[in-house]
Structure 1
Amino acid sequence: MPNLPLTAILLNLHNAAAAAGRPDPRLLAVSKTQPAEAVAALAAQGQRAFGENYVQEAVAKIDALAALGLEWHLIGHLQSNKADLAAQRFDWVQSVDRPKLVAALAAHRPARLAPLNVLIQVNIDDEDSKHGCSPDGLPALATAIAAEPRLCLRGLMAIPAPWPQVERRQQAFERMHALFVALAAAHPQVDTLSMGMSGDYAEAIAHGASMVRIGTALFGARH
């Protein structure tokens, strides 16, 4: 069973946005490790966008739930040898972090589908254990994505370090927002800053997140 119903999560997001004077963010329900039945139950409450970490696991759910017309986001690290499948099956890839992926995704995005929505994952705290582009490498990677007709650069994604100090977490969100503003100035179609999860969404929204990724609060503990 979910920890909280969808309506309660959406109200929490709205309240956090209102307190910060920000627009309501989009909710991405993180359904990794959850069965297709749990996704269908949340879709029945009105949720349309779902995030998955693993391509193979996601494809099984995408096939099982095809009739529901859901929007699927890849949010986990993407291996180059899975880029073809990701390009063919997802609506968004939020974890693009290197030029090799750009070429592979563009080459395999089917012409019958709309261009693949892409977010650049930024390793904002320079963690060895995290994937992501460095802030310095962001402009060149963005230019490469924007040059591909089969891709649509939409913005940035980050998973900041879970610092115990509130100030350090806020600083990471502030740096991400500054990068986002600069990116949007160079690429006018950019409109999405994906950051914040079940434990820190309020801080992320306060610092400009336009999409938050919620899993545990919706679905409960991972299966």
Structure 2
Amino acid sequence: MTTEQTARIAQRLAEVRQRIRDAELAHGREAGSVQLLAVSKRQPVEAIRAALAEGQHAFGENYLQEGAEKRAALAGEAIEWHFIGALQSNKTRAVAEGFDWVHTIDRLKIARRLSEQRPSEAAPLQCCLQVNVSGEASKAGVEPGQAPALAMQIADLPNLQLRGLMTLPEAVTDFESQRDAFRKLRTLQAQLVADGLALDTLSMGMSNDLEAAVAEGATMVRLGTAVFGPRPEKKP
């Protein structure tokens, strides 16, 4: 990467962090209560190094092979790796063995495989249950009405620690409509906590709806291009 590209990532990170702080202040959130997850899919290792130099340590990857290559290249760095892509049952081992977090569990079969395949010497795999709050057929995630039973089953599995809920709602531009979707996830999490689950994470909000997510209690926002700029073209 050029010096200019590295400087631009530093500038974007500063801008994103300020945006998060402004949203926390505007909506009565405690300063520092919202974590930035830098989505690094299709970004080069050098871009991650540039973000690391600015104090960013949590990175989200969508693709297993790409994520494995980056973890190998950055072995020894203080990085918290999050898997945030669609997860098929025949690919759970790579996540169980290589990642610290997974945000996209929506089936008991997937959760069981992750638990079984998590190395015994590793810390429990931190995980979120993905909920389809907008009911879009094209989106993954369990239906809200089915989430409580599934959450209880996941919480009972060894080698996993259910931390909270994740959603990727329908893309809308109206602020109040954005809040409505995130409010559904917050309400569901409150219900699960009342039922006895120790949950502290709401993984929700991206570049176009960060403020609405923070307003409704997000603890982790997932931002990619806002941090790294446009993604390189996908290789054929």
**What is the TM-score when the length of structure 2 is the normalising length?**
0.91
Alignment partner, residue 128 of structure 1: 137
For 2:149, the aligned partner's letter is A
Q: Give the match for residue 12 of structure 2.
A: 5
Across the two proteins, how many residue pairs are aligned to each other? 223
Distance 1:220 1:194 in 2: 21
136-145 or 91-100: which moved more? Answer: 136-145
Give the fraction of aligned pairs with identical amino acids, expressed as a percent.
47
**Residue 200 (structure 2) aligns with:** 191
Is residue 53–residue 74 contact of structure 1 (8 Å, CA) maintained in 2? yes
**Counterpart in the other structure of 2:63:** 54
- Alpha carbons 2:205, 2:221 under 8 Å: kept: yes
Tell me which residue corresponds to 1:20.
27
SS at match of 1:160: coil
Q: What do the CA deviations read for 1:37-73 (whole angstroms, capped 9, x no partner)?
A: 1011101110010001111110110111011120000
Residue 150 of structure 1 and its aligned partner are, at CA, apart by: 0.4
Say whether 1:111 aligns with 2:120: yes
Aligned match of 1:210 in 205, 219, 229? 219
Q: After superposition, where does 1:78-97 map in structure 2 within 5 Å? A: 78-97=87-106
Counterpart CA distance in 1 for 2:205 and 2:192 is 19
The structural deviation recorded for 1:188 is: 4.1
Q: Give the C-alpha shift of residue 186 in structure 1.
A: 2.6
Of 178, 203, 212, which residue of structure 2 is paired with 1:169?
Answer: 178
SS at match of 2:76: helix
Contact 2:103 2:129 in 1 (8 A): yes
- Which residue identity does 2:166 align to in structure 1? M
- Please list every run of 5 or more consecutive structure 2 residues that lacks an aligned counterpart in the other structure: none
Query: C-alpha separation between the residues in 1 aligned to 2:194 and 2:71?
Result: 35
Whether the 8 Å contact between 1:75 and 1:95 is mirrored in structure 2 is: yes
Q: Secondary structure at the match of 1:170?
A: helix
Please give the alpha-carbon distance, in whole angstroms, between the structure 2 residues aligned to 1:31 and 1:187: 34
The structure whose Rg is larger is: 2
- Structure 1: tracts of 5 or more residues without a match: none
Separation in structure 1 between the aligned mates of residue 195 and residue 42 of structure 2, nearest angstrom? 37
**Cα deviations across residues 163-209 of structure 1 (Å, max 9, x unaligned)?**
23333222101111101111222344210001000111011101110
- Aligned twin of 1:179: 188
Equivalents in 2 of 1:6, 1:167: separation in Å?
Answer: 26
| Length-normalised TM-score, structure 1 | 0.96
Q: Residue 63 in 1 paired to residue 72 in 2?
A: yes
Taking structure 1 as reference, are residues 187 and 85 closer, same or farther at Cα in structure 2, changes over 3 Å only? farther
Cα distance in 2 between the residues matched to 1:27 and 1:100? 29
Q: What do you get for the CA RMSD once the two structures are aligned?
A: 1.2
Aligned to 1:41: 50
Is the alpha carbon distance of 1:65 and 1:187 closer, same or farther for their aligned partners in structure 2, counting shifts above 3 Å? farther
When residues 200 and 37 of structure 1 are mapped into structure 2, their CA distance, relative to the original with a 3 A threshold, is same
Contact 2:179–2:215 (CA under 8 A) maintained in structure 1: no
**Structure 1 residue 5: Cα displacement:** 3.1
Give, in angstroms, the shift of residue 97 of structure 1: 0.4
Residue type at the aligned position of 1:195 = M
